[in-house]
């Protein structure tokens, strides 16, 4: 019996403008798996991820994280929940004009005091951990470079290090390679795989390319117009499923 | 994406009403346009050119007649292709291949610009005869000779006055800074639409800023020189007020343009809202703020010179005094001093702004 880290039950999300982004989505995430969410742009993938760490408020439904109901917590409990969920983004979302080290250290904001962090004071062990993580993502020697001067792939690796700084039990990745070229995409996915296998961090990742899904995912769910329409192993997605998920006219493009 | 769809749903009206509004607006534009053409033709071409009057009498009947005639012509031509109003409101079917370059309404537009240009020549009393008159050229020669032979005897008070001007501009900028910083947040649309109270504050701040900004610092200097007496303090207050409104507007635009990404990322780490602002917002705005502020100081030094002319102290006041006494050699020295300050400020502020990009 595998242990569940996240349980999503009948999740609905309606935006103020009436867009019904998620329609009763239910699924579980097992500890240690690499779960990939696929679907067209606008199918609700990003909304789903943002509901889990409550960057967006779910309209109805329940989310349990490590056994606790987190659907409507607020304030300090919410911040402490977010600190246990790492997140990386399509556009990296690093802080411009700050060094790689500072960017990685922002992963510790929730456990370090407001005043100290504003004056840039971080504990020595956090700094050491940050240096170790910068090395882990293959950027040693670049810790004092400005983050916005790095290439896209390097910026995404800084973002991974920042997320790992939180000691997360799960990592949400929202289209982590969508703005990268094929070679860099693979390198970033390799780092995510490494994080998953070596550090045992559960990964919930949105992806576009099926070839990447087949290569890295241990399990797949698919969204279409806010409905969950597929749940299974990546190898089971055949031509028929592909056209159901992406539409009749879709042609599969590979990335290698 | 969210914002767009919201405005779309707000902007929806019954189609007939919207069309009616467009037609009425188009007709009002035509009416005013023809009234303008009528009035300008009458005042400039009939009274000045044909009748040769130097200063024609004006009566309030004239614009009323012009509006009536404008309404008549506008109505008569509204259904032809001469209607500028319909063109502006997009009520004509335009042939994509032909473009609008040869349409009657375009030609009418050119005609309006042309008569405005002619009227402008008459109203600003452009006269080549006076520009090249013998007495005029002699005067110009006298003043230029004096300007190019500046009286270095007053270099000491001139430098002190210049220093006064620079410091006055600096203090005006520095005092304006915290106010502008605060108002900048209140005037940033993206931060202020969360609740009705905030939105009211936003509109109030915008209103106050627009009012203070639309009154020239020159006018504020006159007001303050009566209030606190002629001198640098009055000039400083005038510059300060204007700097607050201008900087706050620039700051708020900067806040409106920041990328949401870092804010989202900081929120996702579980950071406290203050940490989110400090790490997610501030790094994105601090350099543009610095750049705007230095540029503002540069502008304030220039404005301080002009404000001095109306009693705001500094080198401008000194210039006004010597000009009043027709001491052109002294004026020459002051003109050179001002040029040097403005050049140095302009050069150094652009260099500083470049290096902190």
- DSSP string covering B309-328: IIII-HHHHHHHHHHHTT-H
Chain A hits for B283, CB-CB cut-off 8 Å, are 95-98
User: Which of B263, B265, B284 should one mutate to test binding to chain A, selecting the residue with the greatest count of A CBs within 10 A?
Assistant: B265
Backbone dihedral region of A217: left (phi > 0), alpha (psi from -120 to 50 degrees) or beta? beta
Q: Which of A140, A127, A71, A102 is nearest to B262 (CA)?
A: A102
With bands split at pLDDT 50, 70 and 90, how would you rate the model's confidence at A204? very high
Q: Return the CATH class of domain A1-84+169-256.
A: alpha beta
What pLDDT, on the 0 to 100 scale, is given for residue B113?
Answer: 94
Q: Say whether A55 and B2 touch across the interface (CB within 8 A).
A: no
The pLDDT mean for chain A works out to: 90
B105 pLDDT exceeds 70? Answer: yes
Positions of CATH 3.40.50.300 in chain A: 1-84+169-256
Average pLDDT of chain B is 85
**Helix-, strand-, coil-residue percentages of chain B, each rounded to 5:** 80, 0, 20
Q: Tell whether the model's pLDDT for residue B357 goes beyond 70.
A: no
- Separation in Å, CA of B271 to nearest CA in chain A: 5
pLDDT value, residue B11: 41
pLDDT of B326 strictly over 70:
yes
Q: DSSP letter at A235?
A: G
Tokens 């204007």 correspond to B242
Shortest Cα distance, chain A CAs vs residue B6, angstroms: 6
Q: Which chain A residue is nearest to residue B279, measuring alpha carbons?
A: A95
Cβ–Cβ gap B270/A83 under 8 Å: yes
CA distance B288 to chain A (A): 12
Buried b (16+ CB within 10 A) or exposed e, B330-343: bbbbbebbbeebee
Amino acid A35: pLDDT: 95
pLDDT at A91: 92
| Stretch A159-166: mean pLDDT | 94
Give per-residue pLDDT as tens, A111-139: 998 999 989 899 999 999 999 999 999 99
Which of A41, A79, A173 has the highest number of chain B CBs within 10 A, making it the mutation to test binding with B?
A79
Other Cβ atoms closer than 10 A to A80: 13
Q: Does residue B261 have a pLDDT over 80?
A: yes
pTM reported for the whole predicted model: 0.68
Q: How does pLDDT run across B208-245, given as a tens digit for each residue?
A: 999 988 888 888 888 888 898 888 888 889 999 999 99
**Does residue B10 surpass a pLDDT of 80?**
no
Q: Give φ, ψ of A221 to 5 degrees.
A: -125, 150
pLDDT tens for B116-171 read 998 888 888 877 888 888 888 888 888 888 888 888 888 899 999 999 888 888 99
Residue B4 has pLDDT above 80, yes or no: no
Give the pLDDT mean for A95-122. 92
Closest Cα to residue B242, out of B264, B214, B263, B274?
Answer: B214
Q: Which residues contact B150 (CB under 8 A, 6 or more apart)?
A: B329, B330, B332, B333, B335, B336
Residue-wise pLDDT tens digits, B23-57: 999 999 999 999 999 999 888 888 877 777 777 77
The domains located in chain B, with CATH, are 12-126 (no CATH), 150-355 (1.10.3720.10)
pLDDT reading at B291 higher than 90 = no
* Closest CA of chain A from B295, distance in Å: 21
Q: CB B262 to CB A96 under 8 A?
A: yes
Q: Which residue of B has its CA nearest to A77?
A: B270
Q: A159 and B279 in contact by Cβ < 8 A? A: no
Which chain B positions have a beta carbon within 8 Å of A81's beta carbon?
270
| B14 — pLDDT class (breaks 50, 70, 90) | low
Give the confidence band of A1 by pLDDT, cuts at 50, 70, 90.
low
The 10s digit of each residue's pLDDT in A39-66 is 888 889 999 999 999 999 999 999 999 9
The yes-or-no verdict on residue B85 having pLDDT over 50 is yes
Task: Report chain B residues whose CB lies below 8 A from the CB of A53.
Answer: 268
A173 contacts A206 by C-beta, under 8 angstroms: yes
Give contacts of B262 with chain A, Cβ < 8 Å.
Answer: 93-96
Question: Residues of chain A whose C-beta is under 8 A from some C-beta in B?
Answer: 15-19, 53, 55, 78-87, 89, 91-98, 106-107, 109-110, 114, 117-118, 159, 162-163, 166
Q: Please, which pLDDT band fits residue A256 given cuts at 50, 70 and 90? A: low
Q: Which residue of A has its CA nearest to B278?
A: A118
Contact between chains at B278 and A117 (C-beta distance less than 8 A): yes
Q: Looking at residue A144, what is its pLDDT?
A: 92
CB contact under 8 A, A85 and B268: yes
Average pLDDT over residues A222-235: 90
- Bigger pLDDT: B150 vs A250: B150
Host H or E run for residue B220: helix B217-227
Q: Which chain A residue has its CA at the smallest distance from B271's CA? A: A110
Question: A51 to chain B: nearest residue by CA?
Answer: B268
Chain B residues contacting A via beta carbons under 8 Å: 2, 5-6, 9, 261-262, 264-272, 274-275, 278-280, 283-284, 287
Q: Which residues of B touch A170 (CB under 8 A)?
A: none
Confidence of residue B307 (pLDDT cuts 50, 70, 90): confident
Cβ-nearest to A114 among B5, B262, B272? B272
Number of H helices, E strands in chain A: 9, 10
**What's chain B's length in residues?**
357
State residue A255's pLDDT score: 65
pLDDT value for A5:
92
């Amino acid at each position: 019996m595998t242990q569940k880290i996240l349980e999503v039950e009948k999740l609905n999300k309606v935006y103020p403008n009436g867009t019904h982004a998620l329609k009763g989505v239910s699924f579980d995430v097992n500890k240690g798996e690499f779960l990939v969410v696929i679907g067209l742009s606008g199918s609700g993938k990003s909304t789903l991820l943002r509901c889990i760490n409550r960057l967006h408020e779910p309209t109805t439904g329940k989310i349990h994280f490590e056994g606790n109901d987190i659907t409507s917590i607020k304030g300090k409990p919410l911040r402490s929940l977010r600190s246990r969920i790492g997140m990386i983004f399509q556009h990296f979302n690093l802080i411009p004009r700050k060094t790689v080290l500072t960017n990685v250290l922002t992963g510790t904001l929730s456990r370090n005091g407001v005043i100290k962090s504003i004056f840039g004071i971080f504990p020595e062990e956090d700094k050491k951990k940050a240096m170790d993580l910068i090395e882990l993502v293959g950027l040693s020697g670049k810790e004092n470079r400005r983050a916005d001067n790095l290439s896209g792939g390097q910026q995404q690796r800084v973002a991974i290090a920042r997320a790992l700084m939180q000691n997360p039990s799960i990592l949400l990745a929202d289209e982590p390679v969508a703005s990268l070229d094929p070679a860099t995409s693979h390198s970033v996915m390799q780092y995510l795989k490494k994080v998953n296998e070596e550090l045992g961090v559960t990964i919930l990742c949105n992806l576009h390319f099926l070839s990447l899904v087949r290569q890295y995912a241990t399990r797949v769910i698919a969204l279409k117009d806010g409905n969950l329409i597929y749940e299974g192993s990546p190898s089971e997605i055949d031509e028929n499923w592909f056209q159901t998920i992406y539409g009749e006219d879709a042609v599969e493009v590979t990335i290698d | 994406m969210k914002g767009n769809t919201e405005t779309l749903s707000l902007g929806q009206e019954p189609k007939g009403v919207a069309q009616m509004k467009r037609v009425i607006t188009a007709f009002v534009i035509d009416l005013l346009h023809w009234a303008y053409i009528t009035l300008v033709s009458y005042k400039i071409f009939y009274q000045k050119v044909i009748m040769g009057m130097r200063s024609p009498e004006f009566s309030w009947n004239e614009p009323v007649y012009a509006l009536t005639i404008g309404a008549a012509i506008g109505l008569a031509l509204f259904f032809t292709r001469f209607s500028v109003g319909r063109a502006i409101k997009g009520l004509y079917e335009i042939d994509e291949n032909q473009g609008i370059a040869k349409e009657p309404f375009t030609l009418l537009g050119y005609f309006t610009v042309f008569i405005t240009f002619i009227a402008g020549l008459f109203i600003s009393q452009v006269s080549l005869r006076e520009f090249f008159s013998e007495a005029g050229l002699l005067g110009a020669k006298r003043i230029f000779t004096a300007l190019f032979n500046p009286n270095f005897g007053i270099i000491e008070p001139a430098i002190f006055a210049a220093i006064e001007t620079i410091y006055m501009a600096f203090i005006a900028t520095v005092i304006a800074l915290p106010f502008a910083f605060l108002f900048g947040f209140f005037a940033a649309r993206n931060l202020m639409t969360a609740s009705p109270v905030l939105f009211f504050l936003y509109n109030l701040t915008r209103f106050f800023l627009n009012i203070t900004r639309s009154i020239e610092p020159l006018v504020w200097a006159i007001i303050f020189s009566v209030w606190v007496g002629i001198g640098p303090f009055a000039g400083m207050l005038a510059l300060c007020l204007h700097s607050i409104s201008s900087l706050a507007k620039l700051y708020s635009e900067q806040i409106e343009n920041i990328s949401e990404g870092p804010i989202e990322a900081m929120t996702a780490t579980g950071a406290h809202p203050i940490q989110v602002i400090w790490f997610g917002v501030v790094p994105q705005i601090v350099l543009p703020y610095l750049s705007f502020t230095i540029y503002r100081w540069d502008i304030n030094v220039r404005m301080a010179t002009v404000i001095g002319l109306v009693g705001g102290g500094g080198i401008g006041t000194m210039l006004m005094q010597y000009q009043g006494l027709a001491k052109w050699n002294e004026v020459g020295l002051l003109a050179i001093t001002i040029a040097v300050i403005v050049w140095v400020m302009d050069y150094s502020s652009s260099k500083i702004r470049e290096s902190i990009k």
